[in-house]
Each structure stands twice: as structure tokens, then as C-alpha cells.
Copies of this chain bind each other. A is one copy, B any other.
């Protein structure tokens, strides 16, 4: 992995001295790099360079790589169904999944970040706590009814699966294939709401 961002030394004007903005820039770059390369593969130099910042600042602000990761996790979004309409959520969600990657870049990155976190022994423990609290909990509550926990796990599985498939193979679905995909996925998701 080479330096891709703008080198601080190349920048025309040096960065304004704004601690908050700098922190935010680092965090954004970190989430991006962690999502793309995982915890080990994301190098502080690259993150710093992408943020247009000196690498040493990361240590100053976040106290090391792990601290940075924790901050990124805290700042990251979880897929949430809590505000969806019970009647149509299956279709809406399926449509979202079937969309082109560049239409949901933010979501895609956010999820890639979480998946990376899940598959690394260093970060997995931190993630698990967050997942239970910010993903499974809300789904369980939203589903409600008898055996909400078990049903929530199945639903979470399906959502995760759709996301993973989409992430691994970013080959877009088109035309009729896409319609079939959406219809099937929607049916599956919807069937998991009805108690």
C-alpha cells in the first residue's frame, strides 16, 4: 500500500490550526482506511496522509492506533431498521441492498468497516459489545412478539448476508435479474417481521 493521499508537504497552504477539524479529518480518513484494509492493513501514515496531517498527530490526538480505532467505532453507524415501516420495510431494504455501490457509498463503507472489525482478533471484542447494543438490541425490540431474540438473529443474519454478498461481489445487478433479486429478498425479509 503506497501513499495515495496528498502529502502534507505538497499542500499549497498549510493546514489551519483547528484541533476539532483535524480530529474529524483524521477520524474520517481512519474509517475509510479501516474499512478498505482492515485494522492491520490500514497504516497510520496513509490515514494521516489522507487526512492531510502528520502521522504523529494521530498519536497525540488518539493515543495510538487502538485508540483511533475505538474512536472510529464509536463514531460509526450501524444498520438500523428501527424507523422502517413494518409494512414496506422488506421491499425498501431489499431495494437499498440491490442498489449500485456508488449510490450508497457511505453505508457500504460503514458496513465494510464493521465487517473488518469483526474479522480481526484485536478489534472483534470491541465490536461485539457495540453490535449487541446498537444492532441486535434495536432489531429485537422492533421485531417484538414471541421469541423476538431468535427471530431477530435470523433477521440480522439475512441482513448481514445481503450486505456481505454485496460487499464481496460488487458486480451490479441489472434489469430483470435485479427485479427478481429484490422481490426475493423483500419476501424473505418481510416474512421475518410477521410474528
Residues of A within 8 A of B (CB): 1, 36-38, 40-41, 112, 115-116, 118-122, 124, 127-128, 131, 147, 149-151, 153-154, 156-162, 164-166, 168-169, 173, 176-178, 180-181, 184-185, 187-188, 191-192
Contact = CB atoms under 8 A, between A and B. Distances in A.
A38 B37 contact: no
A111 B72 CA distance: 27
B168 A153 contact: no
Contacts of A40: 38, 40-41
A145 B161 CA distance: 23
B180 A188 contact: no
A107 to B, nearest CB: 16
Contacts of A187: 191
A14 to B, nearest CB: 32
A151 B184 contact: yes
Contacts of A127: 168
